[in-house]
Chain A
Amino acid sequence: MFSAMVKKEFLLVLRDKHALMALFVMPAVFILIMSVAMKDIFSQEAVSFDVALVDLDNTKISKEFVADIKKDKSFHIVKKDDAQFVVTLPKGYGNIENTKNPTKVQISVEDSLKSDMIEIFKAKLMKHIVNLKLGIIKTRLSEFSDEAANAVGAVSLSNNELFTLKYNKQDDVPNSTQQSVPTWIVFGMFFIIIPMSTIYINERKQNTLSRLNSMNISVFSMTMSKIVPYIFIAQVQMWLMIAVGVFLVPFFDTPALSINGTVGALVFLSFALSISAIGLSILIAVSASSSEQATTIGGILNILLGAIGGVMVPKFIMPESMQKLADISPMSWGLDGFLEIFLKGGDIFSVLNESLALLCFGGVALMVSMIILHKRIEGGL
């Protein structure tokens, strides 16, 4: 009996083209778009600038300065028309005798550049200017004292020698693919509200649920038969999204998804997440009076839970108060679990808390759904 109900549910979902689009195509497309679009934002590689150098001075000092800049990997030397920054060394720049009114380096900036990028560029360029000035001071000093000149020459502006920099939680910061794949797995799984509510409400409206109940099919069996296919669908969804992250995203010059954790952890977490999503979907489906109402409520709730839970804006860039608020969203539990697996190589035990929270949420939602459905059937739906 149960297998027949599961088979029926499978056939109904597989014949719903819109549902399949929402469950499989939409998250896959989003993973591609978001991974590629946000790759620079999530990148932890050094910033680089497209720079054009114009040496109008053409002296020994100006040539040294240009050579020094060209060695810096932060500056990608391009033609003037392609440059974000045009650095001009005016005539007289290398005149070290002119101390009262020294000639300044002129920088012209592309209009669209943000102020933070300009500040970073200025800091980088400043290092080279200071280097140049130190060189001049050293030369001057050497005329009077080798010791003093050597002391100045020993001054280094290299980052490695001036300070050490270490991220507190470097492992917690994902790249764009590591952020996009779990995000859209979680969001996609919660989209089962669309097919589930449509099928459920049609069954209710057409009295098919009543008919099933008159055939001695309990509310428990009806609910359980809906869970099994959607758990399978959730698994397919997850592995498909992972495949997109691993195989498709790299074609767009974006980092591929690397799975550092165990397959067991992925299966366990996605099982818990699907129970949570199914529970919420059935709860909405049994509570709503029409499929339009269910998809509207479900859609809004999905977006809200996603916005709070770190789907729209990654949790690690949220302020602390918002990060705490995010913890109320089951999407955040799922997302944390996936990031634990993808970034930190988590196993089943690492994602136990998130998974148990998701299972509890789903279990409570399913129980409430069954009570509501039971009452609805008794009241003639």
Chain B
Amino acid sequence: MIKVSSVIKKYDDFTALDSLSFEIKKGTIFGLLGVNGAGKSTILSILNGLSRFDSGEIKVFGFDIKKDIKKIKEISSIVPQDLAFYEKLTVKENLDFFAKIQNATKENYDRAIKINTLEDLLNQRASTLSGGQKRRLNIAIGLLNNPQVIYFDEPTVGIDPKSRNEILESIKGYKKLGITVVYTSHYMNEIEKICDDVAIISHGKLVEQGSLKTLFSSKNSNLEKHFIELTEGANV
């Protein structure tokens, strides 16, 4: 389980996270929703050990983020919104590089290629890939270390519906492998399609958390409508 308790993060006078708390169950796909500037990227950055926070507590599968960040980084992976790989290298060179620096096993290496159907693209320069293929490479890199939890920061931005669908299907597949997925997106239909649980944050605070089924039944509404009601007034 990932447990975020009363986390506060300030940038000078601006409070990015205001006593934020939520829990993510192991082996689920967890949707993190919020308007721009709500604090989604900040909490993802903190969960990956890239940013520090001012107060509060975070435990990732029992490891305290302040004490065991190295261990947490070993069992986590982030797929950033940006295409965080090297365009001048081939697909294989990129995968080889990220695999070697994480001591990835051959099994994990092959699995990352297979899940993201990159077999036929290995010798192609990354710069020549299509938008969807680049996204798949970005995701494959995130799978190399066989993470227990993988964080997706809006992974389907700017790609065609077919590629988006393929990516969403592959993400659903991770759940079967026992990987916990934390997923942020602006597309409510994506969240509805793949997530088990959802947390909605606004102005750095948790507005609502629960399973997708519970949210639907209690509010008798669709997620997008509910999201707009909760975050009304915020800068979407």
Contacts and interface: CB of A to CB of B under 8 A. Distances in A.
Interface string A185-212: 0000000000000000010011110111
A205 B87 CA distance: 13
B74 interface: yes
B84 A210 contact: yes
A166 interface: no
Contact of A8 (B52, B83, B87, B89): B89
Contacts of A4: 96-97, 100-101
A378 B76 contact: no
B84 A215 contact: no
Contacts of A15: 88
Contacts of B117: none
B101 A214 contact: no
A211 B84 contact: yes
A11 interface: yes
A377 B101 contact: no
A345 B80 CA distance: 55
A1 interface: yes
A380 interface: yes
A79 to B, nearest CB: 61
Contacts of A139: none
A18 interface: no
Counting chain B CB atoms within 10 Å of each CB, the highest count among A205, A215, A377 belongs to A215
A216 interface: yes
A380 B51 contact: yes
B86 A208 contact: yes
Given A4-B96, A5-B101, A214 B86 contact: no
Contacts of B80: 207, 210-211
Interface in B95-110: 96-98, 100-103
B49 interface: yes
Most chain A beta-carbon neighbours within 10 Å: one of B80, B83, B86: B86
A203 to B, nearest CB: 8
B76 to A, nearest CB: 7
A199 B100 CA distance: 20
A211 B50 CA distance: 9
Interface size bracket, A side:
20 to 34
B100 A207 contact: no
Given A210-B50, A210-B80, A215 B98 contact: yes
Nearest to B45: A380
B148 interface: no
A12 interface: yes
A10 to B, nearest CB: 11
A16 interface: yes
A190 B145 CA distance: 38
Contacts of B145: 215
Contacts of B45: 210, 380
Contacts of A214: 48-50, 73, 76-78
A7 interface: yes
Contact of A216 (B70, B89, B98): B70
Contacts of A1: 100-101, 103
A217 interface: yes
A12 B101 CA distance: 17
A380 B46 CA distance: 10
B85 interface: yes
A377 B98 contact: no
Contacts of B73: 214-216
A11 B96 contact: no
A208 B50 contact: no
Contacts of A319: none
A3 B100 CA distance: 9
A7 B100 CA distance: 11
B51 A216 contact: no
Given A206-B82, A215-B102, A8 B97 contact: yes
A16 B97 contact: no
Contacts of A12: 86, 88-89
A1 B100 CA distance: 6
Interface string A37-78: 000000000000000000000000000000000000000000
B23 interface: no
Given A1-B103, A207-B80, A380-B50, A216 B86 contact: no
A213 interface: yes
Interface string B150-171: 0000000000000000000000
Nearest to A221: B101
Interface string B100-126: 111100000000000000000000000
B231 interface: no
Given A8-B93, A12-B88, 8 more contacts: A7-B97, A15-B88, A210-B45, A210-B84, A215-B145, A378-B52, A380-B41, A380-B51
29 contacts: A3-B100, A4-B97, A7-B97, A8-B86, A8-B89, A8-B93, A16-B88, A205-B82, A206-B85, A207-B82, A208-B84, A210-B45, A210-B80, A210-B84, A211-B80, A213-B49, A214-B48, A214-B50, A214-B77, A215-B73, A215-B98, A216-B70, A216-B74, A217-B101, A378-B50, A378-B52, A380-B41, A380-B42, A380-B50
Interface of B: 41-42, 45, 48-52, 70, 73-74, 76-78, 80-89, 93, 96-98, 100-103, 141, 145
Interface of A: 1, 3-5, 7-8, 11-12, 15-16, 202, 205-208, 210-217, 377-380
- What 6 A-B pairs are tightest by C-beta distance, nearest first? A4-B100, A211-B84, A214-B48, A207-B80, A208-B84, A207-B82
